[in-house]
Chains A and B, each alone.
Chain A
Amino acid sequence: MIEMNFNKRLQAASGRMDLKMTIKVQEHTFTTLYGRSGAGKTSTLRILAGLMTPEKGLIIVNDKIWLDTKRKINLPPQQRNIGFVFQDYALFPNMTVLENLQFAASPSQGKKQLDDLIEMMELGTLQDQKPQQLSGGQQQRVALARAIVQKPRILLLDEPLAALDHGVRHKLQQYLLEIHQEYKLTTLLISHDIGEIFKLSHNVIVLNNGEIIKYGTPKEVFVEEEEEMFYLSGEVINIDYHSDVIQLSVLIQQKHFKKITFPKDHPLKLKIGDKIMISSKISNPIIHKIDY
Chain B
Amino acid sequence: MNWTPIILTFQLAIVTTIILLIIAIPLAYWLANSRSRWKPIIETLVSMPLVLPPTVLGFYFLLVFSPNSGLGYWLNEYFNIKLVFSFAGLVLASVIYSLPFMVQPIQSGLSNLSPSLTEAAYLMGKSKWTTLAKVQLPNIRTSILTGIVLAFAHTIGEFGVVLMIGGSIPGETRVASIAIYDEVEALNYTSAHFYSFVLFLITFCILLLVYLVNGGFINRFWR
Interface, chain A (partner B; CB < 8 A)? 49, 51, 76-84, 86-88, 90, 92-94, 103-104, 106, 150
Whether A88 and B114, one on each chain, are in contact in the complex, defined by CB atoms closer than 8 angstroms, is: yes
Q: With A and B bound together, what is the CA distance between A77 and B116 in angstroms?
A: 13
Besides A90-B114, A92-B121, 10 other CB < 8 A contacts?
A51-B119, A76-B122, A78-B127, A81-B125, A86-B116, A92-B139, A94-B138, A94-B139, A94-B141, A103-B134
Within the complex, the shortest CB–CB distance from A284 to chain B, in Å, comes to 47
Within the complex, the shortest CB–CB distance from B118 to chain A, in Å, comes to 9
Whether B120 and A86, one on each chain, are in contact in the complex, defined by CB atoms closer than 8 angstroms, is: yes
> Which applies to chain B's interface (DSSP): helix, strand, loop or mixed?
helix
Q: With A and B bound together, what is the CA distance between A79 and B122 in angstroms?
A: 9
The one of B119, B125, B127, B141 in contact with A90, judged by C-beta atoms closer than 8 angstroms, is B119
Q: List 24 A-B contacts (CB under 8 A).
A: A49-B119, A49-B123, A51-B123, A76-B122, A77-B122, A78-B123, A78-B125, A80-B123, A81-B125, A84-B119, A84-B123, A86-B116, A86-B120, A87-B116, A88-B114, A88-B116, A90-B116, A92-B117, A92-B120, A94-B138, A94-B141, A103-B126, A150-B124, A150-B125
Given known contacts A90-B116, A90-B120, is B126 in contact with A78 (CB within 8 Å)? yes
Asked whether B218 is an interface residue with its Cβ less than 8 Å from the other chain, the reply is no
> Which applies to chain A's interface (DSSP): helix, strand, loop or mixed?
loop
Mask, B97-129, CB within 8 Å of A = 1, is 000000000000000001011011111111100
* CB-defined contacts of B120 to chain A, threshold 8 Å: 84, 86, 90, 92
* CB-defined contacts of A80 to chain B, threshold 8 Å: 123
* CB-defined contacts of A94 to chain B, threshold 8 Å: 135, 138-139, 141
Q: With A and B bound together, what is the CA distance between A77 and B122 in angstroms?
A: 6
